[in-house]
Structure 1
Amino acid sequence: MKPTHIRLVRACAAVAAAGLLIGPVVAPGTDAARAASVATPAPASASTPTPTPAADAQFPQLTPAVAARLDAAVRQVMRETKVPGVTVGLWAPGKGSYVRTFGVADKTTRTPMATDLHVRIGSETKTFTVTALLQLVDQKRIGLDDPIGKYVQGVPNGERITLRQLAGMRSGLFNYSMDEGFIKKLQADPELGFTPEQLLGYSFRHPVRFPPGARFDYSNTNLILLGLVVEKVTGRPLHEVITRDVLAPAGLRHTVFPTSPALPDPYAHGYTDQTASGRIEDSTHWNPSWAWAAGEMVSDLQDLRSWAQTLATGKLLTPATQAERLRTTPMNLPGDGYGLGIFDVQGWIGHNGSIPGYEVLPVYLPPARATMVILLNTDVRYGNQEPSTLFGQAVTSVVTPDHVYPGHKPVAPRNS
């Protein structure tokens, strides 16, 4: 079987992919009995923030009727994609909340999904790594326009590629996780550990793809380099920097940068088809060291809810640096842009993540001050679509039809 590149590299490409699903139909059966669910209309009280007219126009009241439409839309995508388990959360001031779990967290025991389960978050890790980098910018210890060659030796075009271009996916460096030698080695032994230097070696054996800054091209290599910059400047391991300087001030108590394949309890099992045989396997305890600064972290629903708002509003950065972060370069669809370790897709700001066995989509819509978080325990595609993209599309088609993620309303699926 010819290998295809490890799906962490697709964690941003998904935002520009065409979503394919049938319009929502209510599903019968025991799914509702198993689902842990909360649908909370906004309370009428003096402490409830008064939404602006713009916010009212951007987001509906999360009434039982809207919750029923969301339930139907999510179940429809589950039927089409065969996703084992999914958690969906929506929150907006003055509009209430919608939190549902569907399906199972473990296909063997049939344990249902729950709202407190840890999952691997793949490329959402990039938002933490770049935040740590930007904090160093605020401390005037580095500059966004410094060349990477100032910090890491041996990088092709290293004297021309800037930290800004690395964070904005415009370096031109080959994506190490698309290297066939790397893919074969990882698929042969998913428990194998990798060092950052080994990962860069897979990239640097390839020629650069274009001159620095010429265009957008999503590459995990960029984040491995930025992780090394953070380590060199701080003199501390990246996992310690992110834990102390990002997670702690953000108040995230259930998010970790692991140093082993272990997951904190409780956790959802993950399932992937990125295997040597192509068959779906349990990838829960695969070694994520190959993703490191680009995708190794673990989190849960409530921490990702909090982080989505912190990330989009720049609470850990100065206003000037946050403004630099949100200055986007066009990706593939009109209305989509990529900033510095962050995207703006049809008004939803954040980042998605995909790693074998898991996908997450935590995003924030500023006009409505609304947060959406979607967690899955598989990365198996439906056709050529990331399942998290399809769930995001289905949910936003209901609640924000003028801001459908990733930019178009769903159409009938093709056979896959």
Structure 2
Amino acid sequence: MPRRVPAAYDGRSSTSPACGPTGPRPRWRFRAAAVGAAVAAAVLSGGVTAPAAAAAPPGPGTYDSGHGDPALQRALAELVAAPGGPPGAIAVLTRDGMRQVYRAGTAEVGTGRPLRPGDHMRVASVAKAFSGAVALSLVDRRALDLDDTIGRRLPHLPAAWHAVTLRQLLQHTSGLPDFSKSQAFQDIVRADPRHHFDSRRLLDFVSGRPLVFPPGSRYAYSNSDNIAVALMAEEATGRSYESLLRQLVDRPLGLTSTSLPQGYRLPRPFLHGYFTAPGEPPEDVSEAISASGAWASGGIVSTPADLSRFIGGYAGPELLSPATRHAQQDFLPGGNSEPAGPGANAAGLGLFRYTTRCGTVLGHTGNTPGYTQFAAATRDGRRTVTVSVTSQVSTNPALLTRLRATEEHFVCALLNDRGPGAWGMRPWRS
């Protein structure tokens, strides 16, 4: 029998968002409906009170955008300057250990502070790639199998869902209804964006619903998929998903500034995220929403530097066996990430293929109030690109089109072998 939504989720909590620890109470002008829409789009995230890693200037093996391609710098600057554009943007290109950083705008409005690779940020739905990394690492260790079903691993979930496999969850072909689109969930977030959810019971919001379509019959992006993936990982190992992330992903890849919080606070220093609209001043929403309502589907906090290391390890051969990588990269054409990445998108297992005019990279995108992310790598993992901007660009179709073109510029630069200063990229024009 499906479990009932807990009484704690009845939507009656209505405490107003309090001010963060380092500044005045934000004005919270943006409509609650906008937050609810963002949740339904797939990408809530929150903060953490873990110790902050110090932001550092570029170190050995790094050169800043002043020595890079001016066209790439202009493309990023034009994105920030566009109507309703993000207050800040940072792109990191890596080739064989050499890192090039491009940045435009500011990490915090009113301060002029530059964006740095060591600044924390919400990675939004790129967190789904992390849950893919955990699950596929467990497949390599034979603790899980891609053909494991919900019925076998999570028999307490509705019987109508029992035939869904781990493979289908990772590829968004499961048919699970999306908990973040449920009215009850959205009502709670609208009333209290910082509400603390029991992350392991998020599927209760849709436990009374049948599958949206027969498992494996088509593609549909759903936040519920990665919640179920994390629960499967916990059931298979008897360990918390957070500890599995640390053991299987963070430590092997050397991710020192990546965490999965439950609260709404961000570690310092961080890239401030904003609600933006043409003709209106940006509003800081960095700590507006609790991560507990996103968890394995979108709650991870990281840095541009860590995100670059992660995507190189996950898309490349460093983390997974050849056989598991072969399954991971069985791509379904037309499966778009959320938001769509550059070029033509295709869905693998916790990973997307982006086929651009310059070639193909593998990665993931994400968006949440205050942040939009793109992280990708070549198949050998030796070249990576991340583009992080400090607003939810997907709410503005024209701006999203511009962002996707900018991302493609950086992909082309990554794949071009002539080196910086000779990439010949033109800034995107409207």
- State the TM bucket, normalised to the shorter chain: 0.7 to 0.9
2:412 maps to: 400
Are 1:191 and 2:194 counterparts? yes
**Cα deviation per residue 1:371-407 (whole Å; 9 max; x = unaligned)?**
11111221144632674x7335224336628989xxx
Partner of 2:202, secondary structure, is helix
2:371 maps to: 358
> In 2, distance between residues paired with 1:399 and 1:320?
27
Q: Return the letter of the residue paired with 2:391.
A: T
* Cα offset, 1:6, TM superposition: 4.2
Deviates more, 1:79-88 or 1:253-262: 253-262
Partner of 1:75, secondary structure, is helix
Q: Return the letter of the residue paired with 1:127.
A: A
1:122 maps to: 124
1:338 maps to: 347
- In the TM superposition, what are the counterparts of 1:3-22 in structure 2 within 5 Å? 3=33, 6-7=37-38, 10=41
1:321 maps to: 324
**Cα deviation per residue 1:60-103 (whole Å; 9 max; x = unaligned)?**
xx997961111111111212142111111112249x65312211
- In the TM superposition, what are the counterparts of 1:1-400 in structure 2 within 5 Å? 3=33, 6-7=37-38, 10=41, 67-80=69-82, 81-93=84-96, 97-152=99-154, 153-155=156-158, 157-272=160-275, 281-285=283-287, 286-331=289-334, 335-346=344-355, 347-366=360-379, 369-381=382-394, 383-384=396-397, 387=400, 390-397=402-409, 400=412
* Cα offset, 1:367, TM superposition: 7.5
* Cα offset, 1:410, TM superposition: 9.4
* Cα offset, 1:412, TM superposition: 6.1
Q: Which runs of 5+ in 2 are unaligned?
A: 1-30, 44-56, 337-342, 417-425
Report the CA distance shift for 1:215/1:376 in structure 2 as closer, same or farther (over 3 A): same
> In 2, distance between residues paired with 1:164 and 1:249?
23
Quick check: 1:361–1:392 contact (8 Å CA) kept in 2?
Answer: no
Partner of 1:362, secondary structure, is strand
**Cα deviation per residue 1:317-345 (whole Å; 9 max; x = unaligned)?**
21101111111112257842111111001
> In 1, distance between residues paired with 2:399 and 2:210?
29
> In 1, distance between residues paired with 2:347 and 2:398?
20
Q: Return the letter of the residue paired with 1:111.
A: R
TM-score normalised by L of structure 1 = 0.77
User: For this pair of structures, how many residues does the alignment match?
Assistant: 362
Report the CA distance shift for 1:371/1:390 in structure 2 as closer, same or farther (over 3 A): farther
> In 1, distance between residues paired with 2:129 and 2:393?
23
Report the CA distance shift for 1:199/1:11 in structure 2 as closer, same or farther (over 3 A): closer
Identity of aligned residues (%): 29
**Cα deviation per residue 1:298-329 (whole Å; 9 max; x = unaligned)?**
11111111111101113222110111111111
> In 2, distance between residues paired with 1:212 and 1:279?
45
* Cα offset, 1:181, TM superposition: 2.8
Q: Return the letter of the residue paired with 1:258.
A: P
Q: Return the letter of the residue paired with 1:375.
A: S
> In 1, distance between residues paired with 2:144 and 2:331?
21
RMSD over equivalenced CA pairs, Å: 3.4
* Cα offset, 1:11, TM superposition: 6.3
2:46 maps to: none
**Cα deviation per residue 1:96-129 (whole Å; 9 max; x = unaligned)?**
6531221122224443322321001111111111
Quick check: 2:122–2:300 contact (8 Å CA) kept in 1?
Answer: yes
> In 1, distance between residues paired with 2:414 and 2:249?
33
Q: Which runs of 5+ in 1 are unaligned?
A: 13-35, 43-61
Quick check: 1:70–1:395 contact (8 Å CA) kept in 2?
Answer: no
> In 1, distance between residues paired with 2:110 and 2:66?
33
Partner of 2:270, secondary structure, is coil
Report the CA distance shift for 1:304/1:410 in structure 2 as closer, same or farther (over 3 A): same
> In 1, distance between residues paired with 2:332 and 2:399?
22
1:56 maps to: none
Q: Return the letter of the residue paired with 1:390.
A: R
